[in-house]
Structure 1
Amino acid sequence: MKLMKTIGLAMLASAAMVMATVSAQAAERVLRSSDTHPDGYPTVEAVKQMGKLLEEKTNGRLGVEVFHSAQLGQEKDTIEQTQFGVIDLNRVSLGPFNNIIEETQVPSLPYIFRSVDHMHKVMDGPIGEEILKAFEAHDLVGLAFYDGGSRSFYNSQKPITSVDDLKGMKFRVMQSDMFVDMVGALGANATPMPYGEVYSSIQTGVIDGAENNWPSYDSSGHFEVAKYYTLDQHLIVPEVLVMSKKTWDSLSAEDQAAVKEAAKESVPYMRDLWQAQEKKSEEKIRAAGAEIVTDIDKTPFIEAMKPVYDKYVTSDKLKDLVKRIQETQ
């Protein structure tokens, strides 16, 4: 079955590659990169920028082609394809890695970061490098962290102004046990499902809503079917750019260094695009008539997360990681 699945994933990737237009034709070797977001999205453009930098640094030996809009599959499938070496590079939220790589659970914890700036200081420093290194034991090489914004709840039913308003509601979450427990701790019901199924599921009443950042709420069109958006900012989960260990091992030490440099140098480019996109998306969503709840007391939300921390922060290693993040100024 594992072999058949691997073959199936390879066929899926190959079909998508035929459909895509290769923009890095000048490179001798084009690395295939996956993203579920649409063309023009900050993460997509950042990996394209990484590809340009990589071509320059390797004198045309390496380039990157980004297969956006989930052409190679949803995140869970593309993680497996990257581990198998079918996909060379992959931009994924840390959330789907929570059940695979223990260390990714900590920056995915609700309210672990005080602000986006706090997240940047942590993930750009030694703690971030430590978490990237943890990918190597899982056939992946962690290259860099991108922004994923702050995630908040949106729904089709009513404005959410308190924890009590969430009780009994059904929300889509990423396929992560931690996010399921987070929603449960708030008294709501979590439904893990692929990102691409959310719009129709809200539209048909399978779920009441989901949670995400401004650009995703916009680019997915979810604001059209879920017009109530509450800025509780429960998660500030970084995005991560990873490379297949098989691809990595096929590169010379010189080209490996170039890949890491290009990835790191694409981060400030991504952040500039992200800040502009957040502003643009917020303006568009407000103009479309969505009801935005900003005046909310986060304290009860934070206090409700104690059982989530108790369940997932169990080892001394993770407790130390939490402590070090909280102490980062």
Structure 2
Amino acid sequence: MKMFKKYTTVLTTIIGSSLVLTACGGGTAPTNTGTTATPAAATAAAAKTDGPKLNFRLAETHPADYPTTIGDKKFAELVNQASGGRIKIDVFPSSQLGEEKAVIEQVQLGAIEFTRVSTGALGGFNKQYEVFSLPYIFDNDEHQWRFLESEQGTKLLDSLESSRMKGLAYYSSGARHFYTKKPVKSIADLKGLKIRVIQNKVNIDLMNALGANATPMPYGDVFNALQTGIIDAAENNYPSYFSSNHFQQAKNLILDQHQRVPEVLLISKVAWDKLSADDKALIKKAALDSVKTQKEEWAKFEKDSEAKVRAAGVTITEVSDLKPWQEAVKPVIDKYRNDYKETLEAIEKAKK
């Protein structure tokens, strides 16, 4: 109870200082046509630019030049432009405000307003997001985006409100692969390895199905854990493998594409509920508009990361036949099929 009172006091102070909000009038977004604005358009523009000045923080795990961080910054820029400088969002990269799990908890309290997190991490806060940890449910990036942009994908974003967050947009994160300290050429070589995973039960079951030992830990601890031998391997996408310098400690990469775990840009429900209707629409539009930039940056960074780890002498093993991998993890899919029936059906439909 004392701890709860402490958090309540801190929360009240933070919200009081950073979210001094007043009601804004309604209206539609102004359109720049190059002609004289009508009275209605002028009123709408005033609602966007003459409301309360707001300063927010956005927590990001990755470095300043990482594609998700660039997406965050584009989002902040678009919000600032659309509000005429009235709404400012400062992006804090490189886990300056904490690792993902701790940040999500602060977002729920309203102590941090925005963050970009992996859906793998969100699974610990909203069960429906664990579906993205299921292996081989997407054939490729195109298949994944058809689902994310579908009605069911939007429904998943909206479901975060029950977890005291508001999903704004998805970001790209490519396919995840295993990287190891010792050479790995097949599933059999993973047996008995201690592999770092994002902390959720689906990932743990996935490692068990592959004969490995799941070792959940924060992303920021992985480099030292590889260096000291606490873990034998980890798994992630090309850009994370490179930007984290994990390739320096685990010089073997096998391209098994076991997961495609998208990212989510989100806002605290505490902050969201205090916004005017116009500001909500402005922020949501900016988030969706920032996706194009993030996806373009992702594609470039992914190619660049692959080239650099190859140049660094990493041994890269292609997987020509995924069927043995898919068969090995089928029990994991079957175990959770009923839990995510609606979502899995929508993902299957998105193949067409």
TM-score, normalised relative to structure 1: 0.91
Cα pair 1:53 1:262 within 8 Å, conserved: yes
* Paired position in structure 2 for 1:171: 195
Residues 16-63 of structure 1 deviation map (CA, whole Å, 9 limit, x = unaligned): xxxxxxxxxxx9322100011011111111111111111121222212
Residues 193-242 of structure 1 deviation map (CA, whole Å, 9 limit, x = unaligned): 00111011111111001000010000000000000000000000100011
Q: Which moved more, 1:46-55 or 1:259-268?
A: 46-55
* Paired position in structure 1 for 2:306: 282
Question: Relative to 1, partners in 2 of residues 1:216 and 1:8: Cα closer, same or farther, differing over 3 Å?
Answer: farther
Alignment partner of 1:106: what SS?
A: helix
2:198 aligned with 1:197: no
Distance in 1 (CA, whole Å) between partners of 2:6 and 2:203 is 27
Question: Relative to 1, partners in 2 of residues 1:296 and 1:79: Cα closer, same or farther, differing over 3 Å?
Answer: same
* Paired position in structure 2 for 1:89: 114
Question: Relative to 1, partners in 2 of residues 1:7 and 1:175: Cα closer, same or farther, differing over 3 Å?
Answer: farther
Quote how far apart the aligned CAs of 1:9 are.
8.9
The residue type equivalent to 2:230 in the other structure is: V
Distance in 1 (CA, whole Å) between partners of 2:10 and 2:224 is 25
Alignment partner of 1:141: what SS?
A: strand
The residue type equivalent to 1:320 in the other structure is: E
The residue type equivalent to 1:214 in the other structure is: Y
**What is the root-mean-square deviation of aligned Cα atoms in Å?**
2.0
2:119 aligned with 1:119: no
Question: Relative to 1, partners in 2 of residues 1:206 and 1:265: Cα closer, same or farther, differing over 3 Å?
Answer: same
* Paired position in structure 1 for 2:18: none
2:73 aligned with 1:53: no
* Paired position in structure 1 for 2:344: 322
Alignment partner of 2:173: what SS?
A: coil
Alignment partner of 2:85: what SS?
A: coil
Q: 1:74 aligns with which of 71, 80, 99?
A: 99
Quote how far apart the aligned CAs of 1:5 are.
7.8
Question: Relative to 1, partners in 2 of residues 1:313 and 1:98: Cα closer, same or farther, differing over 3 Å?
Answer: farther
Task: List runs of 5+ in structure 2 lacking aligned partners.
Answer: 15-51
Q: Which moved more, 1:215-224 or 1:93-102?
A: 93-102
Q: Which stretches of structure 1, 4 residues or longer, exceed 4 Å deviation after superposition?
A: 7-10
Distance in 2 (CA, whole Å) between partners of 1:6 and 1:32 is 19
Determine which structure has more spread, i.e. the larger CA radius of gyration.
Answer: 2
2:307 aligned with 1:313: no
Cα pair 2:61 2:99 within 8 Å, conserved: yes
Percent identity between the two aligned chains? 44
Question: Relative to 1, partners in 2 of residues 1:4 and 1:311: Cα closer, same or farther, differing over 3 Å?
Answer: farther
Quote how far apart the aligned CAs of 1:104 are.
1.1
The residue type equivalent to 2:168 in the other structure is: L
2:258 aligned with 1:234: yes
Residues 100-115 of structure 1 correspond to what in structure 2 (within 5 A)?
100-115=125-140
TM-score, normalised relative to structure 2: 0.85
Q: 1:183 aligns with which of 197, 203, 207?
A: 207
Equivalenced residues, count: 313
